[in-house]
Amino acid sequence: MKSVKKEALVLAEFAGWNLKTPLVQQRLRRVEQYLSEKPSVANALKYYMHLRGMSNSDVATAIGVHSGYISQIRTGASSPSTDTIVDICKALKVSPAAFFLRAELPRTKSVRKVLTKLEK
């Protein structure tokens, strides 16, 4: 669990968050939670949305779909097409490679190194 907390802190600093504010502390706890969950498209989406501070409607508006669809993806009720995932990645300003790595692979030390490079 220590490594998850450390990874969350590194990502928060990378995102430029002021770690002293209550909102950031809450967001940091969410990021920790997502880092410790089983990898999936839904969890990768939740992770990057919280990292970027975006809501369902923010992402939906950016890619031209209904916010309910984004909600279904986040809960795992719907599986998006590859094209939709690429559009979501553009909206979240993350490479599709980083998104798919976070969605599909277990979080080993070597995967975290690759993700860190891809997320820059």
Q: Mind listing the pLDDT tens digit for each residue in 39-90?
A: 788 888 988 998 888 999 999 999 999 999 999 999 989 989 889 999 999 9
Largest CA distance in the chain: 39
Domain range for residue 51?
2-118
pTM: 0.62
- Mean pLDDT, all residues of the chain: 79
More confident call, 72 vs 120: 72
In this predicted structure, what is the pLDDT of residue 77? 92
In this predicted structure, what is the pLDDT of residue 59? 97
One-character DSSP codes across 58-109: HHHHHHTS-HHHHHHHHHTSS---HHHHHHHHHHHT--HHHHHHHHHS---H
Domain CATH for 46 = 1.10.260.40
Chain centroid offset of residue 84 CA: 15
How many domains does the chain fold into? 1
In this predicted structure, what is the pLDDT of residue 98? 82
